[in-house]
Chain A
Amino acid sequence: GPKVLQIPSHQIIDMGQMVTLNCDPVSNHLYFYWYKQILGQQMEFLVNFYNGKVMEKSKLFKDQFSVERPDGSYFTLKIQPTALEDSAVYFCASSLVFNERLFFGHGTKLSVL
């Protein structure tokens, strides 16, 4: 079936550094999402994105966070600077219809030291 690819699978960085999480969504999908999961528990919504713009972001999507999808390539989540509480697994997802039938990647585990 359709696959969403996330790169890298694990990233370890020092607090205060910048990190970029990359997502290769399903090719014909129009909507893109980032969710944050801590300790295998609740999937916390961060942001969704359509037609080059953020549609909605949550309180967790701090000013240090940004997303973009330049020229239809990777959908990226950038955190600059990182904080200890940013340690989590970040899941990217994409869909053809808004908020329906999301396809998730395997996640990027971010460890901020």
Chain B
Amino acid sequence: QQQVRQSPQSLTVWEGETAILNCSYENSAFDYFPWYQQFPGEGPALLIAIRSVSDKKEDGGFTIFFNKREKNLSLHIKDSQPGDSATYFCAASGPNYNVLYFGSGTKLTVEP
């Protein structure tokens, strides 16, 4: 059973638009949700993270919106730039879980 699901699988937006990437999770006990950004040929790198006590987290042009009741969250990338083109992974973990579970990723392409 997949613990973390992401949609869409791929997304193309124009430069300057807001990209919205979605994530949902199975286990209501998860309380930590990082997003990782991966460029081709590299490993993922932590972009931004939120804990379940918050419903929103902002860092630069990146914002996480979190809905605990619905068990989903989204990453908004404001004023997208071609340099934001990458694969974005949502992940989840929680107390009593020894694993950081990753979703299948959303490949974002920002067209100039």
6 smallest A-B Cβ distances: which pairs?
A: A104-B43, A56-B98, A43-B102, A42-B104, A99-B100, A99-B93
Cβ of B46 within 8 Å of any chain A Cβ, yes or no, is: yes
38-82 of chain A: CB within 8 A of chain B? 40-45, 48, 55-56, 58
CB distance A91 to B101 under 8 Å?
no
CB distance B32 to A100 under 8 Å?
yes
A45 cross-chain contacts in B, Cβ below 8 A: 99-102
Cβ of A29 within 8 Å of any chain B Cβ, yes or no, is: no
What is B's interface to A at a CB cutoff of 8 Å? 32, 34, 36, 40-46, 49, 87, 89, 91, 93, 98-105, 107
CB distance A56 to B99 under 8 Å?
yes
Contacting A106 at CB < 8 Å: which of B42, B101, B107?
B42
Q: Can you name 13 A-B residue pairings with CB atoms under 8 Å?
A: A4-B43, A42-B104, A43-B44, A45-B101, A55-B98, A99-B100, A100-B32, A100-B34, A102-B46, A103-B46, A104-B36, A104-B44, A107-B43
What is A's interface to B at a CB cutoff of 8 Å? 4, 33, 35, 40-45, 48, 55-56, 58, 91, 93, 99-107
B45 cross-chain contacts in A, Cβ below 8 A: 103-104
In the assembled complex, the CB of B39 is this many whole angstroms from the nearest CB of chain A, namely 10
A44 cross-chain contacts in B, Cβ below 8 A: 102
B32 cross-chain contacts in A, Cβ below 8 A: 99-100
B46 cross-chain contacts in A, Cβ below 8 A: 101-103
Q: With A58-B99, A99-B93 known to touch, is A42 a contact of B105 (CB < 8 Å)? A: yes
Q: With A42-B105, A43-B89, A100-B34 known to touch, is A106 a contact of B100 (CB < 8 Å)? A: no
How far is A59 from B84 in the complex, measured between Cα atoms in Å? Answer: 34
In the assembled complex, the CB of A37 is this many whole angstroms from the nearest CB of chain B, namely 9
In the assembled complex, the CB of A46 is this many whole angstroms from the nearest CB of chain B, namely 10
CB distance B102 to A91 under 8 Å?
no
Q: With A4-B43, A43-B44, A43-B89 known to touch, is A102 a contact of B100 (CB < 8 Å)? A: yes
How far is A91 from B98 in the complex, measured between Cα atoms in Å? Answer: 18
B101 cross-chain contacts in A, Cβ below 8 A: 45
